[in-house]
Amino acid sequence: MKDKGLMMPPPIIEIKEEVVISVKENDKNMAMVKAEWNLGPEKASPDPKANSEYWKKMAKIWQTSEKEARRQLCANCEYFEDTPEMMEKMDVVPFNEFDADGGGRGYCHKFSFICHNLRTCQAWEME
């Protein structure tokens, strides 16, 4: 006699879209995130006293403390990807002044541009 237990749901298959990065699109999308989503700080720094005005502004937006806001970085955002495969795709975009102090590159899937470990924007979401 067969067990008539609950049927298992079909497995969930995640389909990832293919990311194609171009210099033009990257620059356009980064400019938009800077202007409309408070991408920053302009000069990133791991120094806990640096960029105080920026972090106070972000703390107010997120309704949290400045100390907590400083922990909400691109590096730990849900949309950030820095896998070896993505790093290779990002190589088509030459390094610029925003790369100099950003703490390393990653790809932002929310806004389709190259972001950086030590920066953030107001669209930050926990992984």
Bridge-partner residues for 115, per DSSP? 106
Contact 69, 59 (CB under 8 A): yes
Return the pLDDT at 46. Answer: 83
Which residue, 62, 74, 84, 69, is CA-closest to 113? 74
What pLDDT, on the 0 to 100 scale, is given for residue 13? 53
- For every one of its 127 residues, what pLDDT tens digit does the chain have, with 9 covering 90 and above? 555 555 666 665 554 567 889 999 999 999 999 999 999 999 998 888 899 999 999 999 999 999 999 999 999 999 999 999 999 999 999 999 889 999 999 999 999 999 999 999 999 999 7
Listed in sequence order, the DSSP H helices in the chain are 23-37, 52-62, 66-69, 84-90
Give every CB contact of residue 114 below 8 A, 6+ residues apart in sequence: 21, 26, 30, 90, 93, 99, 105, 106, 107, 108
- Please provide residue 118's backbone torsions phi and psi, each rounded to the nearest 5 degrees: -90, 10
Q: What confidence score (pLDDT) does residue 9 get?
A: 61
Q: Looking at residue 48, what is its pLDDT? A: 86
Does the global pTM surpass 0.75?
yes
Which token pair is 76? 């730990």
Position 7, amino acid: M
Q: What is the pLDDT of residue 20?
A: 86
